Amino acid sequence: QVQLAESGGGLVQAGGSLRLSCAASGRTFSRYAMGWFRQAPGKEREFVAAITWRGGSTNYADSVKGRFTISRDNANDTDTIYLQMNSLKYEDTAVYYCAADANIARLRSRPTYWGQGTQVTVSS
């Protein structure tokens, strides 16, 4: 069974930081592009960041560039990605989802695999 499990969400004040983690299990994701999406109340789910399977290339939504950093660890048979979120703003409040796909272009639009999400709440 394929699973993507997010962790690290919580409540933080504006200007603060959080780090999200997503651990993949059930198959080898080391050759999959992985990324993060988010969905705020009353809004559609949106792309946040993505990273290639080797971690050599990343891309970000304009709204988080310079504040968020995506990274991954697929050494030693582990497949985990992280999202370091700094200078958080109220508008970053959302449920954050981890996603994976063999194709990075498809990852940005219709990922094959999704996690269950973790809530991030930024107080103003």
Tens digits of pLDDT across the chain (124 residues): 678 999 999 999 999 999 999 998 877 766 789 999 999 999 999 999 999 988 789 999 999 999 999 999 877 667 899 999 999 999 999 999 999 998 888 999 999 999 999 999 999 8
DSSP letter for 14, please: T
CA 50 to chain centre: 7
